[in-house]
Amino acid sequence: MSRPVERVFREEYGRAVAVLVRSFGDIDLAEEAVQEAFAAALQSWPDGRPPPSPAGWIITTARNHAIDRLRRDAKRAQKHAEAELIYDVQQNEFDDRLRLIFTCCHPALARHAQVALTLRLLGGLTTPEIARALLVPEPTLAQRIVRAKSKIRDAGIPYRVPRDADLPERLSSVLAVVYLIFNEGYSASSGPGLVRDDLCAEAIRLGRLLRRLMPDEPEVTGLLALMLLAAARRPARVDEHGALVPLPEQDRGLWDRSLIDEGHRLVRACLRRNRPGPYQIQAAINAVHTDAPRARDTDWMQIVRLYDQLMAIAPAPVVELNRAVAVAELDGPDAGLRLIEGLSLQRYHVFHAVRADLLRRAGRAAEARAAYATAVELAGNEPERAFLSSRLSHLDVPSGMLEG
C-alpha cells in the first residue's frame, strides 16, 4: 500500500466500516466492501494522493461495492432495499462509530474477543498485526474474530448505543477494553520488550475518539488523561540497556511535556464536573506525580488522599498495594509493610517487588532477598526481570519502587 493510502486506511478504516455496518447490518460485508474500496483507491488516486475528502470517497466506493455484491445475491434483497435509503454520512458517522464500539465491547463477548474486534474494526489493524501485538498465534486470533462475528450475527447483538439504564455498565466495558489495550502495550505482560508502542498509540487514538464521541462522560476524559500521563513518562521508563527505570529514578527531563500539559488540562476538566470515577482518580494521581519537578517534591499526602478516594469507590487489592507505597513515603517502610500484609496478590510480581523494596528500606535484607527472588520468578517481561535481578544483586542501592 502506498504511504498516503496507508495513512488514510489507518485513519478512516474504522469510520468507513462503522457506516457500512450501520447501512447493511453485516460486519463481513462491510469489511469486505471497505477493503475493496481501499484496493480501488490504490488504482484510482493519482500518484497515490487522496482526494479532498478521502473518507467520503472510501465510504461511497465501499457502499457501491456492497450494493453490487448484494445485487448478485438475491437472498439479501431485503437488506439491499434498506441500504438504498438515503443516508447522510456526515451527520451520522459519529453515531455509527459509537454504535460499533458498543457492539465490539458487548458484555456477551469474552474480553479477549472484545479487544480483538475493537482493534480490528475500529483500529483498522489486520489480523496478523493484532496477533503480533497481542502475542497470540495468528490462527488463534483469526478464530476468535470469526467466532465473535458469528456470535454478533447469530445471537442478535445489536448495533446501537445502549439505553441510558445500561450505559454505565456498558461504558465501563468499553473503557476497560481500551485501557487493557493500553496496558498490554505499556507494560507488556510477556515478551522481550517492556513497552509495545503500537498498542499504546492505538489505545490513545481510541481514547481520543471516545472523548470526541462522548464529551460529557467524565470517565472517558479521565481514561484519556490517564493514558496520556503514563505515555508521557514512556521515554524515561526504559534505560539504554532496555532495563526498567522506576519512577523515582527517572530523568524527568525526558518526559513529554506536551502530553503532560494535555493530561493535566483534561484532569482539571474532569474535576470541574465533580463526578469522580476510578479512571479520573487514577489520572489525578498521575497528575500529582507528573507535577513534581523532582521525585522528592512529590505531594504524597495528596496521593494518599486520592488512593483513599479510590478505595472508597473501587476497592481492590492492587489499589491497597499502591496506597501502601504512598503511605510508606510519608510514614516509613514499616507502615507500608503493615498495610500490605495479607493482601491476596501472591501471584502478582509487583506485590513481591513492592514488599521487597519496603523490606530493604526497613533494613530486613534477608527477607528482601527472598521477596525479590519471588518477584523475578513471576515477572512476565525481560526489562522487569532485569530490573528486579539487579535490585536483588545490589541490595544496597538507593531506594526505588516498581511504579513507572
Identity of the residue, 25 or 48, whose beta carbon is nearer to other proteins in the bound complex: 25
* Nearer Cβ to other proteins (65/106): 106
Hunting for cell 498495594 — which residue is that? 321
Shortest approach of other proteins to residue 151 CB, angstroms?
9
326 binds other proteins (CB under 8 A): no
| Stretch binding other proteins (CB under 8 A), from 151-159, 268-276, 298-306, 327-335 | 151-159
Of the candidates 77, 81, 146, 155, which one interacts with other proteins according to CB under 8 A?
A: 155
Nearer to other proteins, 105 or 354 (CB): 105
| Residue 248 is a binding residue for other proteins (CB under 8 A) | no
| Grid coordinates belonging to 354 | 513492592
CA separation for the pair 239, 57 (Å, rounded): 45
Binding track over 85-124 against other proteins, x by CB under 8 A = ---------------------x-x----------------
Interface with other proteins (CB under 8 A), residue from 3, 88, 90, 154: 154
How far, in Å, CA of 99 to CA of 19, rounded? 10
Per-position DSSP letters for 43-102, written without gaps between them: HHSGGGPPPSSHHHHHHHHHHHHHHHHHHT-GGGHHHHHHHHS---HHHHHHHHHHHHHH
Judged by CB under 8 A, does residue 164 bind other proteins?
Answer: no
Say whether residue 81 binds other proteins (CB under 8 A): no
Task: Please state, as a whole number, how many other Cβ atoms lie within 10 Å of the Cβ of residue 341.
Answer: 8
157 is a site residue for other proteins (CB under 8 A): yes
Of 263-302, binders to other proteins (CB under 8 A) are none
The least distance separating other proteins from the CB of residue 154, rounded to whole angstroms, comes to: 6
Cα–Cα distances (Å) from 105 to 96, 115, 155, 172, 319, in that order, read 14, 8, 15, 10, 25
162 binds other proteins (CB under 8 A): yes
Per-residue CA distances from 227 to 179, 219, 231, 246 (Å): 8, 12, 6, 18
DSSP code at position 103: H
Contacts (Cβ under 8 Å, ≥6 apart) of 125 = 119, 133, 202
Could you list the residues that contact other proteins (CB under 8 A)?
Answer: 106, 108, 154-158, 160, 162-163, 166
